[in-house]
Amino acid sequence: MGIKILGIETSCDETAIGVVEDGRRLRANVIASQVELHARYGGVVPEVASRQHVLEIIPVLEQALADGGIGLEELDAVAVTYGPGLAGALITGLNTAKALALALGVPLIGVNHLEAHIYASWLTQHRPDESPGFPLACLVASGGHTDLILMEGHGQYKLLGRTRDDAAGEAFDKVARILGLGFPGGPEVQRAAQGALGLERLPRAWLGDSLDFSFSGVKTALLHLAHQRGIYPLAGAGSTVTEAEARRLVMELAAAFQESVVEVMVRKLLTMAEARNARGLVLGGGVAANTLLRQEVARCSPLPVIIPPPVLCTDNGAMVAACGAFQYQRGQQHGLDLDVDPSLSLGDD
């Protein structure tokens, strides 16, 4: 019988719980998304997110146990995201994990959300630490982060690049708002860009030799273009742009934006991999669900590329359980006085 770890994730707007056996066998992965609740505000409202986690967490737990056919008494440990993220949102997950760990008499394992995004790759077909092996060049791109992290071993990280302004996902979300597309912006921009050519070339911020990112310039350039072309503020009555023309422009700008952001991320990830003699590339975080990014990394990389399926790129509990499993193996656990850490980083010490 394998080691069974429960993973709880409530750092943002997904109430998610997964169960993973032996660090890589997915037994359950239940995700209650709050997307519709936040869509009307065009972004995540922290207070609304926190209260929704309180409502959802126990039903999600029950569903995860039912899906996996697992009783609470079979769990070997409870892993939970304790940062980074929204403080009020994290607290619900952490307190639920503490209650479970206390009641079941099993270890509580606090997990870094960014590290969990990397460990989603252990839920794919291969174990990245066996094939291709360490070091791994990792890109974690989400709503709050665009981090280039060198993973030298389990629990060993070096942060080599980060965004200086907007995170990649945040830029997708803001651009979607400018173009009158829905929330969250990533999937909407991807859909709008489908089949369109980014005829209008948008800038790329290379920042010299730095492995850092900057996405606010491309977002501002897109805003100016949208304004110039008469589709921002949104084309309405009295607009000189026809509806069909406006639709075409939105598609082209979405494609141009996606191309710019993807090209910079791919190039910098490959540069880091080469400079640090990485043996493989790992992608994680919500933006890694992006089809163009996945294709381009695979097309351009001379090294093996590991990218979890899209449902394991966006926030989920299984990745927390997978990450927790490796901490469990190393005997790493936390006391029941563990606090949330909204600005927790990875490899930045």
Q: Which of 88, 107, 110, 187 binds ligand KG4 (CB under 6 A)?
A: 187
Q: Which of 142, 146, 260, 327 binds ligand KG4 (CB under 6 A)?
A: 142
The sheet carrying 136-141 orders its strands as: 156-161, 146-153, 136-141, 280-284, 305-306
Number of alpha carbons in the 13 Å side-chain half-sphere of residue 254: 29
**The residue type at 302:** P
Q: Which of 143, 161, 308, 317 binds ligand KG4 (CB under 6 A)?
A: 143
Where do we find the tokens 């000189």? Answer: 240
Least separation in angstroms between residue 15's CB and Zn ion is 13
Q: Which of 115, 268, 291 shows the shortest CA–CA distance to 189?
A: 291
Q: Which of 285, 308, 317, 347 binds ligand KG4 (CB under 6 A)?
A: 285
| 238 burial via Cβ count (<10 Å: 0-12, 13-18, 19+) | exposed
Q: Does 88 bind ligand KG4 (CB under 6 A)?
A: no
Task: Single out the segment in contact with ligand KG4 by CB under 6 A; choices: 130-138, 203-211, 286-294, 338-346.
Answer: 286-294
Tokens (6 digits) for 306: 């590991």
345's enclosing H/E stretch is none
3-state class (DSSP) for residue 206: coil
Q: Which of 84, 107, 12 shows the shortest CA–CA distance to 347?
A: 84
Q: Does 81 bind ligand KG4 (CB under 6 A)?
A: no
Which residues, at least 6 apart from 153, have a Cβ–Cβ distance to it below 8 Å?
129, 134
5's enclosing H/E stretch is strand 4-9
Q: Which of 68, 286, 324, 347 binds ligand KG4 (CB under 6 A)?
A: 286
Number of alpha carbons in the 13 Å side-chain half-sphere of residue 247: 6
Least separation in angstroms between residue 284's CB and Zn ion is 8
Q: Does 173 bind ligand KG4 (CB under 6 A)?
A: yes
Nearer to ligand KG4, 106 or 168 (CB): 168
Q: Which of 5, 6, 8, 12 binds ligand KG4 (CB under 6 A)?
A: 12
Task: Single out the segment in contact with ligand KG4 by CB under 6 A; choices: 166-174, 224-232, 266-274, 327-335.
Answer: 166-174
Least separation in angstroms between residue 284's CB and ligand KG4 is 8
The number of residues that bind ligand KG4 (CB under 6 A) is: 20
Tokens (6 digits) for 266: 């791919």
Q: Does 315 bind Zn ion (CB under 5 A)?
A: yes
Least separation in angstroms between residue 129's CB and ligand KG4 is 22
Residues within window 104-123 making contact with Zn ion, judged by CB under 5 A: none
3-state class (DSSP) for residue 97: helix
Q: Which does 68 bind (CB under 5 to 8 A by kind): ligand KG4, Zn ion, none?
A: none
Return residues touching ligand KG4 (CB under 6 A).
12, 142-144, 169-170, 172-173, 184-187, 190, 285-287, 289-290, 314-315
Contacting residues toward Zn ion, per CB under 5 A:
142, 315
